Amino acid sequence: MNSFIKFADSLSIAMGKAFSWCIVILMGGTVYEVIMAYVFNHPTLWNFDFSMQMYGAILMMAGAYTLATEAHVRGDVIYRLFSVRTQAKMDLVLYFVFFFPGVLALAGYGYPYALLAWKIQETSWSSPAQIQIYMVKTMIPLAGTLLVIQGISEVFRCIICIKTGKWPDREVVAEETEKILMRASQKSNLKKK
């Protein structure tokens, strides 16, 4: 189970980091559009659709990364009061009741949807540039598949936690400023004592 967790986390984090470069591409496209529109008075037809595709790619491909790094927003007002084992049991049930039905549908129904888009070389009907969108529709089943893999990893984490009473460690990609400041404050307080 631990080796699968490590594999799933590595895959999700690598894909998240790779697709984070879409932000740079998106920024470049926006700068290009502003220069073309305001300096040369010749705006593009394609840039709006291009921006939408980049936003879509970032949104779809960031799900597994966010799950792997435990960065989803969680309303844990009551949850944090439970023991670690109870939290793991709750998570385990909730993954099967809510998470897996949605992501399996995303992966399963997304595949024929993307396949059809490739087959007909689908273009945007609302775009004056008729930009091709079949490639970006491939993100739908791909994102669903990555979420399924990461979801299995999270189930394994729950099982390990139920057995050991301790959550398996996660790969730390970025840490919240609040946690860094709290740790620095605790170290400072220890030095004073």
pLDDT means over runs of 10, the chain (193 residues): 90 90 90 93 86 86 89 80 92 94 93 90 76 85 95 96 91 72 80 71
Report the domain count for the chain.
Answer: 1
Q: In this predicted structure, what is the pLDDT of residue 190?
A: 76
Q: In this predicted structure, what is the pLDDT of residue 174?
A: 67
Residue 73 sits in which domain range?
2-192
Long-range contacts (CB closer than 8 Å, 24 or more residues apart) made by 152-156: 152/4, 152/8, 153/4, 153/5, 153/7, 153/8, 153/9, 153/12, 153/68, 154/67, 154/91, 154/95, 154/99, 155/92, 155/95, 155/96, 156/1, 156/2, 156/4, 156/5
Q: In this predicted structure, what is the pLDDT of residue 57?
A: 86
